[in-house]
Amino acid sequence: MPEPMDPVPLTSSRPEQIFPALTEAQMQRLISHGTPRSVRAGEVLVEPGDGEIPIFVVMSGELEIVRPSFAQETLLRVIGPGRFTGEINTLSGRRAFARVRARQASGVIQIARESLLALVQTDAELSEIMMRAFILRRVELLAQGLGDVTLVGSSHSADTLRIKEFLTRNGHPYSYIDLERDPDVASVLDRFHVSAADTPVLICRGQTALRNPTNREIAKCLGFNEAVDESRIRDLVIVGAGPAGLAAAVYGASEGLDVLLLETFSPGGQAGSSSRIENYLGFPTGISGNELAGRAYTQAQKFGAQMLLTTGTRLTCDRRPYIVELEDGARIPARTVVIATGARYRKLPLENLARFEGAGVYYGATFIEAQLCRGEEVIVVGGGNSAGQAAVFLAQSAKHVYVLVRASGLAGTMSKYLIRRIEETSNITMLPHTELADLDGSDHLERVTWRNTQTGKTENKSIAHVFVMTGAEPNTAWLGGCVRLDGNGFIKTGPDLSAEDLNDAHWPLSRRPYLLETTLPGILAAGDVRGGNVKRVASAVGEGSIAISFVHQVLKE
Ligand SMILES: Cc1cc2nc3c(=O)[nH]c(=O)nc-3n(C[C@H](O)[C@H](O)[C@H](O)COP(=O)(O)OP(=O)(O)OC[C@H]3O[C@@H](n4cnc5c(N)ncnc54)[C@H](O)[C@@H]3O)c2cc1C
């Protein structure tokens, strides 16, 4: 192995916050949480792929943090006395990305994950320093693509986009080799005995090459679920990690509950696909949904909540503890459940829609999609707020944005501030009484036809990007009749439940259901999935948070 050279330069202007030096008093407080240890020069303390890793605080000597990649090592950092190792994965218990090795004979304090969690929950000063360092380190790894996976793919491939999105939305750093542009592509493919026809290929920890893996296979290869004990009876199982589920996780875990989140895709839910949320309290310049979700997820982890990346497929509700069944057949026992499964996008009734999903047809307008259609014409379908936001956001980088609405205008469906922005943006055109009639292309969308529903006149356009923002349906099918739904399939809760609903459901208690409680005691619903909910991030967060006060009451009963 060659000697590492200079460390990779940081992209951040805040190196002192990424690798802060602790004061003598702070070090003394840390010592009580860990075990002193002497290490020899060259001794390896952490290997990439190790799970449940401790952190190390350097008392004397030096540690080096390196990333092995194929036959080489990249030196990320050398840290001396007063500085500490660790990263977001240390909190979650997921596997390490980097190797930590003593550069010389050194003295360290080893702090186990459980002790680290106790420390960041109780020592406000150290918590701020360490959490900020862990978050900024992850931001740095993401910015530099320094993870444990390499994706080889094409920017014209829907599956490449899907994999990028899955890794990005899960905050997992990766490097990308583009089939069409990267000169190294042939040697990387040869090394793993795969061809361009096999792409997208995901090279997992430099060892396994997965050909066009499903999201589930990626999660397995990267060990996303390994640190979670599935057999323990949890105080609270939350199904869905959108804003409502994340809020329930933060409040539940911070109030001492044993919390497990179940999520199909990534933390953030629908909000995670929003390019900029401008009406969420406390963010006057707006925040991207993914950033908000990333922060909330880290906060939940800090308080000890855990997450399984999986789908809840069935609720066993005829006995307690309740059981949430997972797609792989595993059964998670829960004293209480918060259902926060949100809603899913309505699709357009176009025959070949699925062929172009991710290859020209998108359901979210984030930075990734905006890059794909930079300088080109795009279509946004829909007249609600999400359509308005997407149009305004895309107009910053696209050549022209056409907003297709079936109604005569936007006034009844979109916030005034967005309508004003659309009117003031010269490269947005709103087309009333218009619907998409046809999509056309080969591997990627190339042309569309739209139709005026009043005149029947159709128009053909060479447009390769369509953003569908036409509303959503509740994710309640998996509940299999366990809880009462309203006429549109949303979950009925609290005061919305009539005496008849409760009778039919055999409500067993003398009290009525709490505000967010369903027809089953201790099963609550929060966010978009709940009937009567205002479909906003703030209301989802509010409901997820207050659900916890009812969880406490149920647990006392
Ligand atoms: C593009 C876009 C922009 C938006 N912009 C704004 C905005 O600016 N301001 C605003 O206030 N609101 C905005 N909204 C609305 C807002 O995002 C939603 O109201 C909010 O996300 C609802 O949160 P939720 O947690 O209830 O549900 P969701 O966000 O829908 O999250 C539900 C989660 O549950 C998961 N899930 C579903 N079924 C299962 C299952 N069986 N097992 C495990 N997991 C499951 C899903 O994968 C998802 O992650 C926007 C929505 C979109 C689509």
Tell whether ligand 1 has an atom less than 6 A from the beta carbon of residue 242: yes
Tell whether ligand 1 has an atom less than 6 A from the beta carbon of residue 539: no
Rg of the chain taking only CA atoms, in angstroms: 25
Tell whether ligand 1 has an atom less than 6 A from the beta carbon of residue 478: yes
Q: How much distance in Å is there from the Cα of 136 to the middle of ligand 1?
A: 26
Residue 120 clears pLDDT 90, i.e. is over it: yes
Is the separation of the CB atoms in 309 and 326 below 8 Å? no
Atom of ligand 1 nearest to the CA of 278: 8
CA 328 to chain centre: 21
| For residues 287-312, average pLDDT | 95
Q: How much distance in Å is there from the Cα of 357 to the middle of ligand 1?
A: 19
Q: How much distance in Å is there from the Cα of 549 to the middle of ligand 1?
A: 22
Residues 451-464: tens digit of each pLDDT: 999 999 999 999 99
| For residues 101-118, average pLDDT | 96
Residue nearest to ligand 1 atom 22, measured at CA: 528
Give the tokens for residue 551.
Answer: 């969880």
Residues 347-394: tens digit of each pLDDT: 899 989 888 887 899 887 877 788 889 999 999 999 998 899 999 999
Residues 41-100: tens digit of each pLDDT: 999 999 999 988 999 999 999 999 998 876 788 899 999 999 999 999 999 999 999 999
Tell whether ligand 1 has an atom less than 6 A from the beta carbon of residue 533: no
Residue 222 clears pLDDT 60, i.e. is over it: yes
Is the separation of the CB atoms in 302 and 131 below 8 Å? yes
Q: Which amino acid is at 380?
A: V
Q: Which amino acid is at 372?
A: L
Q: How much distance in Å is there from the Cα of 304 to the middle of ligand 1?
A: 23
Binning pLDDT at 50, 70 and 90, where does residue 2 land?
very low
Contacts of 120 (CB under 8 A, 6+ apart): 91, 126, 127, 130, 131, 302
Percent of the chain exceeding pLDDT 70 equals 99
Q: How much distance in Å is there from the Cα of 545 to the middle of ligand 1?
A: 15
Q: How much distance in Å is there from the Cα of 135 to the middle of ligand 1?
A: 24
Atom of ligand 1 nearest to the CA of 535: 19
Residue nearest to ligand 1 atom 20, measured at CA: 537
Residue 1 clears pLDDT 60, i.e. is over it: no
Residue 274 clears pLDDT 70, i.e. is over it: yes
Atom of ligand 1 nearest to the CA of 313: 41
Atom of ligand 1 nearest to the CA of 345: 53
Taking the C-alpha atoms of residue 35 and residue 31, their distance in angstroms, rounded to an integer, is 7
Tell whether ligand 1 has an atom less than 6 A from the beta carbon of residue 301: no
Residues 309-339: tens digit of each pLDDT: 999 999 999 999 999 999 999 999 999 999 9
